[in-house]
Structure 1
Amino acid sequence: MRADRLMAILLHLQAQGRTTVRELAERLEVSERTIRRDMDALCASGIPLYALRGVQGGWVLPEGYRSKLTGLTSGEIRALVLLQESSVVRDLTLDGETGSAMAKLLSALPSDKRGEAEFVRRHLHIDGAGWHGTGEPAPWLQTVQQAVWEGRRLRFRYASAYAEGRETEKTVSPWGLVAKRQTWYFVALAGEENGEGGGELRTYRVSRVLEAKLTEERFEVPPDFDLAAWWEQSTRRFKEGLPKYPAKVRLREEALERLERERFASVGATVRREDGWIEAEVDFQTLETARDLLLVLGASAAALSPEELRQAVRRAAEDVLAAYGGGPATGESREE
């Protein structure tokens, strides 16, 4: 479209300071004649373009015309640049739009700020994929995204998280998308009549959507709905509803830091001892969860109570030792 091309010309001039008709024609993949007509159109619309003659000539904008985003701090510029690296942006197929927006942003920055942004792009990369794959498949993410963007109700088949092989069919009004690490969820109003009033906000995992189809029914999200606040409250209620297995453990500093990052453990009160150990009260989900996490921490952690947890860790350690030919710690064979 011509409007897009005219905007691209202006952005290129702001970023480069001077350019020739040939450079613009090659960059925009049009003829030099088309570029000359575009320049005439820009001048006629009041853009203060002027041409320099000679070998070093070309089209330029007056320095005073350039729009400068002086309100952006260095930290804000770094944050915007790093947004382009997000796996969330790639999942939603917005990487092209993000790159275009970033080009517009950089072209409008003062030269010193533009140099800082370019430095960040060259020297810092965030690999959202991690070492263990690229996240779970979510083939219907684009359809769910479209339903959210356009305010259209969604009909879909959903695989139950609690009963293998069980499927349900639902029609909901998706109010928002949430990316937690590399997993996508959508928050939707379910059970409402005729798409208005009633119903209940629920969370669905996009990877469990087996098939999805947009309907022609429309919905409106209440203007006071705050997705981030609702998600935080929902997550807190979910964690509070999980089963708890309280225990007291002894930890090294590095083990405490790792345990604090665990999804299935909540570290409470801690006491630092003079010998370097830390005693902590921890709520695990189950006895099995506590046993497995303590085994992973190895010699950096030990269960103090309850006694059944101490025995469970001991038995599991003996089984590991036996698997490597050392036999159980008691010296006796044991079968279960």
Structure 2
Amino acid sequence: MRAGRLLSLLLLLQNRGRMTAAELAAELEVSVRTVYRDVEALGAAGVPVYGEAGHAGGYALLDGYRTRLTGLTAPEAEALFLAGLPGPAAELGLGSVLAAAELKLQAALPPELGEQGRRIRERFLLDAPGWYREADEVPYLPTVADAVWRRRALRVRYRRWQAPQEVERRIEPYGIVLKAGRWYTVAGGGDEPRTYRIGQILFLEQLDEHFTPPTGFDLAQHWREHSTRLQERLWQGEAEIRVSLLGVDRLEGFAAKAVVEGVRRGTVERDGWRRAVIPVESLEHAELQLLRLGPEVEVIAPPALRDRIAATIGSMARLYA
């Protein structure tokens, strides 16, 4: 543990230049006395670190003492800094590891590339979750990640949407995917790999059983194919609607791409409204989505959807009468 702290201290001095003992202690979360001992240990190991007393004093490395990472271009360095997602890394239990890795990268880069990396961090932020939706609570994510890494089977109690809502299963987690702010694990244990939302795991136990994924299993390819199949199964029917220009603008803010494209293919009527046929998941889902447009949309067909929306609007009118 001390060796890691000594390396972090060295990298801080390489990366930031002169720092006081108090500043180093705050960064390393140790006492000032511990910093004094660590600096002495670095000096004894041959690291050219020196200290100066006074108001502008502190510890620093002799000029030129720096490890350089050769062969890395400016765009490559920028991509590496953009690739860091501190939020997801922290959820995986790797927040401190990511911070240490970035510190090492900054220390190893030539000064001009290190400065570009700092500008990237100041000006770009990657925020995975979607708007207006709380991120999943994923207390079991680090355990699932550990099982993925060590190829250990899990016994889970899982909440799903269909009955029975709670099930117990033995799964073999092949990999983890972060999609739109939600964590999933692709796991075996049956005839074919299944996808489990980690936030829906109610309890898990890591078993003393190792597993081997199927030969040739590719997580990225499997996820692409799974997403394609899911999209194909998503749309269960169609609806014909009339929507105003304002309704079109609002629809583009929340509707699925297939719905928006259906509206764009529609025809413009004399009053400026657009008549179109759009795909729908179910009558219930379509009702909830179209009610968000208020008076800016009219359902023409199917009659069952039109009747549902009319009944809901009637109930709301009576409530507010």
Interval containing the TM-score (normalised by the shorter chain): 0.7 to 0.9
Give the corresponding residue for 1:176: 175
Distance 2:133 2:275 in 1: 36
Distance 1:223 1:71 in 2: 36
Q: Does 2:287 correspond to 1:291?
A: yes
Distance 1:308 1:168 in 2: 34
Distance 1:222 1:286 in 2: 36
Q: Does 2:158 correspond to 1:158?
A: yes
Give the corresponding residue for 2:69: 67
- The alpha-carbon distance between structure 1 residues 256 and 61, as it changes in their structure 2 partners (threshold 3 A), is same
Give the corresponding residue for 1:98: 98
Distance 2:306 2:27 in 1: 69
Distance 1:26 1:301 in 2: 58
Moved more, 52-61 or 175-184: 52-61
Q: Is the 8 A contact 2:172 2:187 kept in 1?
A: yes
Cα displacement string for residues 151-195 of structure 1 (whole angstroms, at most 9, x for unaligned residues): 11112233343125x54332221101223334332111113xxxx
Distance 2:78 2:267 in 1: 36
Shift of residue 201 of structure 1?
0.9
Q: For 2:61, give the aligned amino acid.
A: W
Number of residues paired by the alignment? 308
Moved more, 126-135 or 290-299: 126-135
Q: Where in structure 2 are the equivalents of 1:152-301 lying within 5 Å?
A: 152-164=152-164, 167-191=166-190, 199-222=191-214, 224-242=216-234, 244-251=236-243, 252=245, 253-258=248-253, 260-261=255-256, 267-268=261-262, 270-271=265-266, 273=268, 276-301=272-297
- The alpha-carbon distance between structure 1 residues 78 and 323, as it changes in their structure 2 partners (threshold 3 A), is farther
Give the corresponding residue for 2:3: 3
Cα displacement string for residues 1-39 of structure 1 (whole angstroms, at most 9, x for unaligned residues): 343244224312321345688976786542535423322
Shift of residue 313 of structure 1?
2.8
- The alpha-carbon distance between structure 1 residues 306 and 6, as it changes in their structure 2 partners (threshold 3 A), is same
Higher Cα Rg, which structure: 1
Shift of residue 262 of structure 1?
7.6
Cα displacement string for residues 311-334 of structure 1 (whole angstroms, at most 9, x for unaligned residues): 433333233222221xxxxxxxxx
Give the corresponding residue for 2:318: 322
Q: Where in structure 2 are the equivalents of 1:125-144 lying within 5 Å?
A: 134-144=134-144
**What secondary structure sits across from 1:200 in the alignment?**
coil
**What secondary structure sits across from 2:193 in the alignment?**
strand
Moved more, 208-217 or 106-115: 106-115
**What secondary structure sits across from 1:147 in the alignment?**
helix
- The alpha-carbon distance between structure 1 residues 63 and 273, as it changes in their structure 2 partners (threshold 3 A), is farther
Shift of residue 284 of structure 1?
0.6
- The alpha-carbon distance between structure 1 residues 274 and 101, as it changes in their structure 2 partners (threshold 3 A), is farther
Shift of residue 148 of structure 1?
0.9
* Structure 2: unaligned runs, 5 residues or longer: none
- The alpha-carbon distance between structure 1 residues 211 and 16, as it changes in their structure 2 partners (threshold 3 A), is closer
Supply the RMSD in Å over aligned alpha carbons: 3.7
- The alpha-carbon distance between structure 1 residues 19 and 155, as it changes in their structure 2 partners (threshold 3 A), is same
Q: Is the 8 A contact 2:67 2:107 kept in 1?
A: no
Shift of residue 69 of structure 1?
7.0
Give the corresponding residue for 1:41: 45
Q: Is the 8 A contact 1:13 1:60 kept in 2?
A: no
- The alpha-carbon distance between structure 1 residues 218 and 65, as it changes in their structure 2 partners (threshold 3 A), is closer
Moved more, 147-156 or 282-291: 282-291
Distance 2:289 2:22 in 1: 65
Shift of residue 244 of structure 1?
1.1
Q: Is the 8 A contact 2:159 2:167 kept in 1?
A: yes
Give the corresponding residue for 1:108: 108
Q: For 1:80, which of 73, 80, 83 is the aligned residue?
A: 83
Q: For 1:107, give the aligned amino acid.
A: A
Q: For 1:232, give the aligned amino acid.
A: R
Q: For 2:4, give the aligned amino acid.
A: D
Give the corresponding residue for 1:309: 305
Q: Is the 8 A contact 2:269 2:275 kept in 1?
A: no
* Structure 1: unaligned runs, 5 residues or longer: 44-48, 192-198, 326-336
**What secondary structure sits across from 1:283 in the alignment?**
strand
Distance 1:133 1:309 in 2: 27
Percent of aligned positions that are identical? 30
